[in-house]
Amino acid sequence: MADLGFFQALSFGPEGWGPMLLSGALMTIALSMSGFLLAGVIGALFSWAKICGNRPVRYIADVYTTVVRGIPDLLIIYLLYFGGSQALTSLGKLFGEGQFISFPGFLAGMLAVGIAAGAQQTEVFRGAFYAIAPGELEAAKAFGMSVPVRMRRIIIPLLLRHALPGMGNVWQLVLKAAALVSVTGLAELMNKAQTGAGSTGKPFDFYCAAAVLYLLISACSGWSLNKAETHYSRGVKR
How would you write the pLDDT of the chain (238 residues) with one tens digit per residue?
456 666 677 778 777 788 889 999 999 999 999 999 999 999 999 999 999 888 999 999 999 999 999 999 999 999 999 999 999 888 888 887 778 888 999 999 999 999 999 999 999 999 999 998 888 888 888 888 888 888 888 888 888 888 999 999 999 999 999 999 998 889 899 999 999 888 888 888 889 999 999 999 999 998 998 888 887 777 666 5
Query: Cβ atoms within 10 A of the Cβ of 138, count?
Result: 10
Q: If you average pLDDT over every residue of the chain, what do you get? A: 88
Say which CATH superfamily domain 25-186 falls into. Answer: MetI-like (1.10.3720.10)
Residues 202 and 145: their CA atoms lie apart, in Å, by: 63
Q: What is the dihedral of CA 228, 230, 231, 234, to 10 degrees?
A: 160
Q: Hey, how many other C-beta atoms are within 10 angstroms of the C-beta on 83?
A: 12
Summarised one tens digit per residue, pLDDT across range 89-139 is: 888 888 877 788 889 999 999 999 999 999 999 999 999 999 988 888 888
Residues in the chain: 238
What is the rounded CA–CA span in Å between residue 32 and residue 79? 19
The answer, as to whether pTM is greater than 0.85, is yes
